[in-house]
Chain A
């Protein structure tokens, strides 16, 4: 694939991630913080998020296996996960955490287990997608190109996306 095609694919893929709610405006903020002094900032923060989330998901699984469930502890972990997903713009993960906390408050073990499954699923989705996104970035850089700057383009493309046909949507989703 040539450079222009790669860049096009990158823009379309990234747009779809925002459009499908995987990423929100906070992810854009992260990119705006990245500069020449810290060119790997986004990757670094996202990697921290991956590590931290995996730790929290394991803790949650363990906590829900207990004979006597400590809902306060579970709520504390979910609160952390909600916070970190919000900080990097992982919107769908954040949303499940909100539902999860409600079940904690109700001390509803079934609800909690369901949410754990959901949050695991959303986490693994966003992880895969972010990894693909970073991979595309690398390919562009390796091909000697620059990463298309995105922020203002997002809203415009979102509009175009909504108007475009569903078949196009399928081509660009990975």
Chain B
């Protein structure tokens, strides 16, 4: 790739082929939904990641509530600087958060409450659990969770996830 020094100054310089590909990749990524998945089980993280990628979603998996808070910039109780778009903070775009309920340290419920009390509050949160406990389910729904899903998740559950993602799209 030669440096065309004098021609660089031109305002509408055509991007080099390599740059163009990178730009396209970036744009493609930004168009895809991004899901933040939180689970302390390495097996469940792998499964969830595959399930979500099967729907062409971008996925970030973290192993704890603390790591999720860190990712969202909420770890030290500081609110991230507000930015133009609803779901963009700290350069991260998150369209959906899926979290396991029972995790050591910060539980899925704790995480849910923190998220709902922050600038990320409009991002839908789905809580997952291997246990079907009605009081737990209502507690999460009352805490602001969009949905409570029973593990193990299956391909047939994907349509529910998609529905939440589509709902989260900004209204024109």
- Chain A interface (Cβ within 8 Å of chain B)? 26, 29-30, 32-33, 35, 38, 41, 44-45, 48-49, 52, 76, 79-80, 82-84, 86-88
Number of inter-chain CB pairs below 8 Å? 48
B32 adjacent to chain A (CB < 8 Å): no
Top 7 closest pairs, chain A to chain B, by CB: A87-B152, A84-B43, A33-B50, A83-B130, A48-B43, A29-B154, A87-B43
Can you sample 22 A-B contacts with CB below 8 Å? A30-B47, A33-B50, A38-B50, A41-B50, A45-B46, A45-B47, A48-B42, A48-B43, A48-B46, A49-B43, A52-B41, A52-B42, A76-B104, A82-B130, A83-B43, A83-B130, A84-B41, A86-B151, A87-B43, A87-B47, A87-B151, A87-B152
Distance (whole angstroms) from the CB of B35 to the closest CB of chain A: 16
Query: CA separation between A5 and B154, bound complex, in Å?
Result: 32
Is residue B23 contacting chain A, with contact meaning CB distance below 8 A? no
Is A29 touching B152 in the complex (CB atoms < 8 A)?
yes
Q: Are B50 and A84 in contact (CB under 8 A)?
A: no
- Is A80 a contact of B41 with CB atoms below 8 Å? yes
**Which positions in B face A, CB cutoff 8 Å?**
41-44, 46-47, 50-51, 54, 102, 104, 130, 151-152, 154-155
Residue picked from A49, A76, A87, most chain B C-beta under 10 Å: A87
Interface of A is mostly: helix
The CA-CA distance from A84 to B42 in the complex, in Å, is 9
A33 & B151 in contact (Cβ 8 Å cutoff): no
Complex contact B50–A87 (CB within 8 A): no
Given the complex of chains A and B, what is the CA–CA distance between A2 and B130 in angstroms? 43
Q: How far is the CB of A59 from chain B (nearest CB, A)?
A: 13
- Contacts A29-B152, A33-B47, A87-B47 given; does A79 touch B42 at CB 8 Å: no
Residues of B within 8 A of A45 (CB): 43, 46-47
Given known contacts A29-B152, A33-B51, A76-B104, A83 and B44 CB-to-CB distance under 8 angstroms: yes
Q: Cα distance A75–B155 when bound, in Å?
A: 30
New contact pairs (14) apart from A45-B43, A45-B46, A86-B152, CB-CB < 8 Å: A29-B155, A41-B50, A48-B42, A48-B43, A49-B43, A76-B104, A80-B41, A83-B43, A87-B41, A87-B43, A87-B44, A87-B47, A87-B151, A87-B152
User: How near does chain A come to B120, taking the closest CB pair, in angstroms?
Assistant: 27
